[in-house]
Copies of this chain bind each other. A is one copy, B any other.
Amino acid sequence: MKNLDLAIHFFIQIAVILAACRLVGIVARKLGQPQVVAEMIAGVCLGPSLFGLLAPEWQKLLFPWDSTQSTRDTSSYLFPASQLGLALYMFIVGMEFRMDIVRSHFRSSLMVSIAGMVTPFLLGAGLAYYLYHNSAMFPERTSLFEAMLFLGASMCITAFPMLARIIHFKGLTGTLMGTVAIGAGAIDDAAAWCLLAIVLASFDDNLLGALKSIGGGAFFVAVAYVVVGPLLRKTQERLLTKQGDLSESGLVIGLLFMALGAWFTDLLHLHAVFGAFVMGTVMPRGVVNRQLIERIQPLAVALLLPLFFTFSGLNTQIGLLNSGYLWLICLAVLLVAVLGKGVACWLAARASGLSQRESLGIGSLMNARGLMELIIINIGLQRGIISKELFATLVIMAVITTLMASPIFDWLVPKTESALPAD
């Protein structure tokens, strides 16, 4: 496609995506689901799993797709734009992140995150051991070690951006429950990406690559906290206008650091979301982070983030699960996911001394896999570590654990209780 055609497609896609997200959103709201769940489902609906089944020619016309990723197609511009939307959102999540609460509840966050990492990893790796010997869910090239590591890591995933949006939607930002969940989710996801880096490195026979990712990530976090954060705090007066508002230069400088962080962690194969999130956490607190959020959030959430959800949906083919045995495996995957993450995090939160209600809330929130799961399993599919069938199975697990989060949360945690601030 030539540039003009790319642009024409982009605009009509934006219109269709926005309309679909709103329509599904109206239904979702009636069912007590947040807008983010609607967008995730709208994305899957616009892909081959529904729109592509009902009207394949129209779907291809609207979202021309080249699976070899060599020519110019929808994905060549929707992917960068969707990653930008995701990074901006994670930057906002980082700016809303209250390190003070994580610190004051560090023990709880750490215990929840360890439980929410070790249990699903062990259960996932065990399931992979079984599937490796008893099914064709893994391609031949994949070794047992890689299969176990990959399925283990993909069970560890928390829907970090989705968790953040649900917490925001429920008005839990800054509460004890919300903060422990976000803190634990952040630690878990970081660990899962590190595991993924090891899997990818082992798949490439390249241990050095994995070490580079992990070492580079540690270096990045150190630079962000020791250099960028203090520097911005010291010079934050320069980011403001004479009236004390954030200046346009201030906004651009914030976006510049966001882009640098996203680029660097993408370069390390750790995914742009981490860089953007970390940069968000080091933005100066007060006028700067408040007004950065105010100015970035509307367009990022209303326009760019839905592109990310749609992009992920376009990669999903649920139709591949066409036998009873495959659905049985799907059930096993779902069970392992819920036991390993939701139940384990609930118990860990209890053990760390939190109340029953808060623990149940944290468990149900941590259990949502959302589209972060889709990212990791898309990488697995692309690199040939998992089969298309296991991919579709994991997509269903991601959708169901995400759909579960809100109703179970509402059922377990009465409203007045959940909205109490942390301190």
Residues of A within 8 A of B (CB): 2-4, 6-12, 14-15, 18-19, 21-22, 25, 35, 69-72, 75-77, 79-81, 83-84, 87-88, 248-249, 251-253, 255-256, 259-260, 262-263, 266-267, 269, 272, 295-296, 298-303
Contacts and interface: CB of A to CB of B under 8 A. Distances in A.
A296 B296 CA distance: 9
Contacts of A299: 88, 295-296, 298-300
A73 to B, nearest CB: 8
Given A79-B7, A296-B298, A255 B12 contact: no
Please name the 3 residue pairs, one residue from A and one from B, whose CB atoms are nearest each other, closest first: A295-B298, A11-B263, A10-B80
15 contacts: A3-B76, A7-B272, A8-B267, A9-B80, A11-B259, A11-B263, A12-B259, A35-B248, A71-B72, A72-B72, A72-B76, A77-B79, A81-B84, A248-B301, A248-B302
A70 B22 CA distance: 34
A7 B266 contact: yes
Name the residue among A4, A9, A12, A75 with the largest chain B CB count within 10 angstroms.
A4
Q: Do most interface residues of chain A lie in helix, strand or loop, or is the interface mixed?
A: helix
Nearest to A257: B15
B80 A7 contact: yes
A298 B246 CA distance: 11
B8 A251 contact: no
Given A299-B299, A300-B299, A2 B69 contact: yes
Contact of A14 (B4, B71, B259): B259
Contacts of A22: 249, 252-253, 256
Given A3-B79, A14-B255, A296-B299, 20 more contacts: A2-B69, A4-B266, A4-B269, A7-B266, A11-B259, A11-B272, A12-B260, A19-B256, A25-B249, A35-B248, A70-B72, A77-B81, A80-B81, A88-B299, A248-B301, A248-B302, A255-B302, A255-B303, A295-B298, A295-B302
Given A70-B72, A252-B21, A256-B19, A12 B263 contact: yes
Contacts of A272: 7, 11
Given A2-B69, A72-B70, A72-B72, A298 B251 contact: yes
A107 to B, nearest CB: 35
A318 to B, nearest CB: 22
Contacts of A253: 22
A263 B15 contact: yes
Contacts of A76: 3, 6, 72, 76-77
Contacts of A298: 248, 251, 295-296, 299
Contacts of A251: 298, 302
Given A11-B266, A266-B11, A272-B11, A6 B255 contact: no
A47 to B, nearest CB: 16
A163 B78 CA distance: 31
A254 B43 CA distance: 21
B302 A8 contact: no
Nearest to A378: B3
Contact of A255 (B10, B18, B259): B18
A305 to B, nearest CB: 11
B302 A263 contact: no
A274 B259 CA distance: 30
A299 to B, nearest CB: 4
Given A251-B298, A251-B302, A298-B295, A3 B69 contact: yes
A22 B259 CA distance: 15
A262 B11 contact: yes
A267 B77 CA distance: 18
Nearest to A268: B8
Contacts of A69: 2-3, 72
A77 B3 CA distance: 9
Contacts of A12: 259-260, 263
B84 A14 contact: yes
